[in-house]
Structure 1
Amino acid sequence: MITVVGTGTGAPLPAGVLAGARLVVGGRRHLTAAPVPEGAEQVVLGPLAPALDVIERHLEKDGRVVVLASGDPGFFGIVRVLAERFGPGALDVRPGVSSVAAAFARVGVPWDDAVVVSAHGRDLRTAVNVCRARAKVAVLTGPGAGPAELGAALATGGAEECSRAGAAASWPVAQFPAPLGRVLVVASDLGTGDERVEWVSPAEAAARDWGTAVSVVLCLDESRALGVVRTVAGPAPAPSRWALEESEFAHRDSMITKSEVRALALARLGPRLGDLVWDVGAGSGSVAVECARFGAAVVAVEKAADGVERITANARAHGVYVDAVHGSAPGALDRLPDPDAVFIGGGGHELPGIVTACARRARRTVVVAMAALDRVPAARAALADAGFTCDGVLLQSSRLAPLPGDVTRLAATNPVFLLWGDRTPVSDEGVAQ
């Protein structure tokens, strides 16, 4: 049997939990603080594979094994690895208070509606995108993905830009504003005499060296910190409907992506929590807003100043956040963080260059809506040249429209060609890990 004990957030070790242990595994600070029985072998956790091999040897001899972990070891912790190797039946888990629960408790904020994302040993960009899209996020940090890096990404434009240029890199806030009202709560050394809980702006977090004692970082929109009463914990559910009616958005002279086109575009874009989506030539921002409703972080690029205001107003009306950037593509795209998916709804004669620029940066998908069919070949070629597999469809729809005399006719909408490209996955064969 492997006894897994959560510790490190102030709760003492259960009495007698180490009695008779022949092997005690844990971080150096856990082993130093624990009353390890005399004669018991100790393994300091670093790489997991050697520790798991030692555990297996002791289990074969029926030796008692105790694993010391931080907080709740079943929450982004070692329980998953142990269960995969030895089976859930071999584990006796004694959870402690997770760093996430402790941090929210310290600031007096409920967290049943919080999103928890791990940046420990993972790509920071996912955490950055979740923090941009959601009002209440807990980020589990790690080396190279701490409060400074997270703050720099939120205060500027994204994790990739910060990794290229360093935490001090930035560009004018008007070009890429940080999420409105976001504050970082950095909790360090939770449960110890050195515990600190500090409220800082993303820019302030970026300017400091936080060391290695950070337990967790909360990213909060203070205006929505309390949230609403929920039945299901975790991130908000996906919207119950999409491809909203054009009347649900402010727009100019019917310059809006029609709902039928939006429905298929959303299906091809696949926006989800943790993604970053560009809406280029956003117009009213209807596609941007719909992607944000699915949980994606969204940047809407629009060359008309009044269009930027309209996008912001539409996002606010639907209760989501969209970064509205005033500028013309492709130049305005240069300093934006790399997207997962891109929707291109405008471009005119610049369209081939815009598609090329987007295809060069998109990680997964590019979707292009065109009313002029003579632009389809160049857009398709731009996607193919960038290594995308392409497909498309001409959308022609007719809507029910009333006629005098209580009868109905079919009113045709303008046909639109929707082209999409998906990046061909690159094989990992032969790549050193």
Structure 2
Amino acid sequence: MITVVGTGTGAPLPPDARAALAGAGLVVGGRRHLAAVTTIPDTAERVVLGPLAPALDAIEQFLEKPADQGRAVVLASGDPGFFGIVRALAERFGTERLEVHPGVSSVATAFARIGLTWDDAVVVSAHGRDLRTAVNVCRAHPKVAVLTGPGSGPAELGAALRSSGRVLVVASALGAGAYSGAASALNAGAASGSGTGTGSSPDAGSVTHSGERERVERVTPAEAAARDWGPAVSVVLCLDEARVLSPMRAIAGPPPGPVQWALEESEFTHRDSMITKFEVRALALARLGPRLGEHVWDIGAGSGSVAVECARLGAAVTAVEKTLDGVERVRANAAAHGVDVTAVHGAAPTVLSDLPDPDAVFIGGGGRELPAIVTACARRARRSVVVAMAALDRVPAVRDALVAAGLDCDGVLLQSSRLAPLPGDVTRLAATNPVFLLWGVRPPARSEGVAQ
């Protein structure tokens, strides 16, 4: 049996966890875990948890010894089943061999310090992962907790979110000493104590350096980017302060997806019917596949109907529009649907160089520059590019641009007729303008050594 004990956010160990430690023959944990626990027998073997593989090997070798050698105990940060070591242990040894004593996670502790519920928060780990996923989630949702790691801390997060209008609450050394000023950290940026510390698992920061003090600070992204935070940050909360309080709900995590998409044109403010029709939007959304943690561009956004629909499905969205009144319409439509869309005033492809890389791109405008815009987007899109066109003459050049960028290209001509009323309580079919929809999808990378 392997006993996993979560510790580090200030709460004392429960009696059963202390008893497990008292009978341990092997104790695995970070240096600060091992130094902080005083009930480890002198006869127990201690393994410092650095790289995971050697620690797992040491546990396996110990489990082969006679049972009277004691039990294997793993010390972990906070709740070890929440982005923690329980996953690796279960994969290696099986869940039936684990006995887990969870502590309070750094996420729960950080939200408690500022007096906010977190059943409606999105939690994303940037520990050992690409920061861009966390950034995209922060841009798209009003209440996000980011578990930090080396190279993915408050400074890096702040630099990526400078223009987002968000507030960052940086929680460091959670559980190290008494905390005072709880909710004021959100309201006025209050902090208690000073110093830094770090955790040794993805639920970083639940373990602290000896003698350090807990600190919870409210900063702007620019302020976060300008500071050296050290290794002690436990978790960063990214908040849209106008929307941190949500109605009571029954499902935790991000809001459930929309009941409906491909909304009627009447659901958006637009000019002279200059809007992507819902039939086209439906297929475009299917090919874009917007989702939580991804970034979508809407180029030539017009009313921003595609941008808003992608945001409703959870993606971070940047809408590029060359007219100022169009930019205002995009912002108004995003606000009306309660989503975040970054509206950029400028002409593609020139303005695209300043934007973070997208996962998917929708191009609904471009005129004579369309082939150049498609080329620029296709080179940077991680997954797909979808192009809507009314003009037959532009189809070959767009297809060539998608293929030249290494994308697999396909497309359709959409021609739809909608039911329309006639006098006498009868119905006719009213044809909409035909639209060409082309899409390019980046093929999956092929592994070396696999037969072609």
Category of TM-score, reference length = shorter chain:
over 0.9
Distance in 2 between residues matched to 1:179 and 1:190, nearest whole Å: 27
Match of 2:333 in 1: 314
What's the C-alpha RMSD, in Å, of the aligned pairs?
1.0
1:10 aligned onto 2:10: yes
Distance in 1 between residues matched to 2:22 and 2:221, nearest whole Å: 46
What SS does structure 1 have at the residue aligned with 2:448?
coil
Shift, 1:17, TM fit: 2.9
1:89 aligned onto 2:96: yes
Q: Which of 29, 32, 35 is residue 32 of structure 2 equivalent to?
A: 29
Amino acid of the structure 2 residue aligned with 1:250: T
What's the CA shift string for 1:127-166, capped at 9, x where partnerless? 00000000000000000000000000001xxxxxxxxxxx
1:259 aligned onto 2:244: no
1:200 aligned onto 2:200: no
Shift, 1:430, TM fit: 6.7
TM-score scaled by length of structure 1 = 0.93
What's the CA shift string for 1:285-331, capped at 9, x where partnerless? 00000000001000000001100000000000000010000000000
Shift, 1:16, TM fit: 2.3
Shift, 1:428, TM fit: 4.0
Kindly tell me the number of residue pairs found equivalent between the two proteins. 408
1:136 aligned onto 2:143: yes
What's the CA shift string for 1:345-376, capped at 9, x where partnerless? 00011000000000010000000000001101
Q: Which of 271, 285, 300 is residue 290 of structure 2 equivalent to?
A: 271
Contact 2:2/2:72 (<8 A) preserved? yes
Q: How does 1:204-243 map to 2 (within 5 A)?
A: 204-243=223-262
Distance in 1 between residues matched to 2:243 and 2:364, nearest whole Å: 32
Distance in 1 between residues matched to 2:444 and 2:76, nearest whole Å: 37
Shift, 1:111, TM fit: 0.3
Amino acid of the structure 1 residue aligned with 2:168: L
Q: How does 1:87-236 map to 2 (within 5 A)?
A: 87-155=94-162, 178-180=163-165, 182-193=166-177, 194-236=213-255
What's the CA shift string for 1:37-69, capped at 9, x where partnerless? 102111111111110011001111134100000
Contact 2:20/2:71 (<8 A) preserved? no
Match of 2:191 in 1: none
Shift, 1:427, TM fit: 2.4
1:39 aligned onto 2:24: no
Contact 1:184/1:220 (<8 A) preserved? yes
What's the CA shift string for 1:85-141, capped at 9, x where partnerless? 000010010000000000000000000000000000000000000000000000000
What SS does structure 1 have at the residue aligned with 2:161?
helix
Long gaps (5+) in structure 1? 156-177
Distance in 2 between residues matched to 1:430 and 1:80, nearest whole Å: 30
Shift, 1:397, TM fit: 0.2
Long gaps (5+) in structure 2? 178-212
Moved over 3 A (4+): none
Distance in 2 between residues matched to 1:196 and 1:91, nearest whole Å: 33
